Amino acid sequence: MIKICGLGTSCQSTRKARQWFKAQEIPFEFRDISHDPLSIEEIQHILCLTEYGTEDIISTRTEIYEELDLDIDSLSLTALYEYIQKYPRLLRYPLIFNDDKLQVGFNKHDIRKFIPREERKRDFWQMFQAYQKLQNEGI
């Protein structure tokens, strides 16, 4: 199941992600983590899916990050998890993930990775055939 974690309706990127999944008719679960924080296990899972660790998910340009004056690299993992749970606005939004994929933020091209593989193959094949038809017609 795909999960979208964000801050309710206040985040435009989170709204766009939810609208995109609805338009694609892909089931998802939405979670407003300002009211329902991530568990330590979920934070660990998200970090395992990142390419660059905390750099991918922590928003260093937020007011709360500056107020806390955090040095993420010097924090223990336990302290990091506690900060994320206590201050969910430290995260970039939306966090879109399943068992093996993660996307941070809304990007209309990258989000397509959540479309089932068979459907992506079918769409690609249809585009290829349309392109071939145009080529054959000399267009």
The set of catalytic residues is 11
**Beta-carbon count within 10 A of 43 CB:** 20
Cis, peptide link before residue 94, omega less than 30° from 0? yes
Tokens at 102, concatenated: 């993660």
CB 17 within 8 A of CB 106: yes
Amino acid identity for residue 75 in this structure? L
Rg of the chain, C-alpha, whole Å: 18
